[in-house]
Amino acid sequence: HERLVGSEMCIRDSLEAMLKTFGYSDFTNEEFLAIPDDEINQKVSTFTKFDSWQAMIDKAAELYSLEKMGFKP
């Protein structure tokens, strides 16, 4: 069991809420990874401000990295 703190808990909770909105809340990791790219990209562009799953992941990684370096995004 890993210990999550602050922003990591927020990210996990936000991701879980988003997957529930997308209808993927009961998926295993393997089932989630098997979703076709065009399907997940369509849901991302419909329910978020991002055009694709990759664009959303890239922005999340950028913000997470800045926070870990002590910058407030």
6 pLDDT band, cuts 50/70/90, is low
Tens digit of pLDDT for each residue in 62-72?
Answer: 888 888 888 87
Burial of 48 (0-12, 13-18, 19+ CB in 10 A): middle
DSSP-derived secondary structure for 37-66: HHHHHHHHHHHSS-SSHHHHHHHHHHHHHH
**For the whole model, what pTM was predicted?**
0.68
**Section 25-49 average pLDDT:** 89
Which residue, 58, 69, 68, is CA-closest to 5?
A: 68
Helix 6-22 with 37-47: angle, nearest 10 deg: 110
Q: Tokens 């562009």, residue?
A: 45
